[in-house]
Amino acid sequence: MDSEIESILEQLQAARDLSDLQRATEAVRDHYAIAHIVYHWVSSTGDQYGAGTYSQAWVDRYLEKGYLRLDPVLHGCQQRFDPVDWKQLDWSGRGVQAFLREALEYGVGNQGWTLPIRGPGGQFALFTASDRCDDAQWSAFIARAQRELIILAHEFNKKALEFEHGRGGAPAPPLSPREQAAITFIARGLSRAQAAQEMGISEHTLRVYIEAARHKLGALNTTHAVARALSRDAIVL
């Protein structure tokens, strides 16, 4: 195995929080010189987490448009155990085509490989690599890197399970009324501009409230904060 990959595995094994997992996804992406590496999991209690290199703009857009219900990668992997090349999935529906166009505009990439992972108690995770290249280049990359990617995916999942076990159910600090309102409007699918207008504040101030809520919830990004707020009944839609 490549010595740099071994170093990343050591980094993963020493990870202490979500920020460390985020840095590990960036290290894997940079090592392979591809567009993105993303690790997303759902815990046994339904709590969702994420670490990855997609832009925050795409993460927010994905949430705003409710693409979770359309995403062929998510739905295509739910009944599979082996790695999935995105070209194997059904991208033919009108809504799915719109989703794909936006994903390409936001730099997700035209090629992708995703490994579904299943853990104890219903835990489900996806580990994804994506890039912008032609079919021959992507096939060559996957043939060369797939073994390492599978090993990395399971190391991410092992660490995620350690985090889940170690949280001990400690409650998050309560959100202030303004923080709660900001996260609620985002969870309802409003854009940041719309949410700011509803609250009568600037987008900059809205971001301050969202970041404060994210910190209290121990979330990596806005999508994660919404998922954690919903699962903990910190907001009601």
The amino acid occupying position 233 is D
- Check for a shared fold between 3-167 and 177-231: no
Fold observed for domain 177-231: Arc Repressor Mutant, subunit A (1.10.10)
**141-183 residue pLDDT tens:** 999 999 999 999 999 988 888 877 665 444 557 889 999 999 9
**109-132 residue pLDDT tens:** 999 999 999 877 777 899 999 999
Provide the whole-model pTM. 0.72
Q: Give the start-to-end residue ranges of the domains of the chain.
A: 3-167, 177-231
How far is residue 24's CA from residue 15's CA, in Å, rounded to a whole number? 9
Fold observed for domain 3-167: Beta-Lactamase (3.30.450)
Going from the C-alpha of 196 to that of each of 58, 175, 191, 205, the distances in angstroms are 19, 17, 9, 8
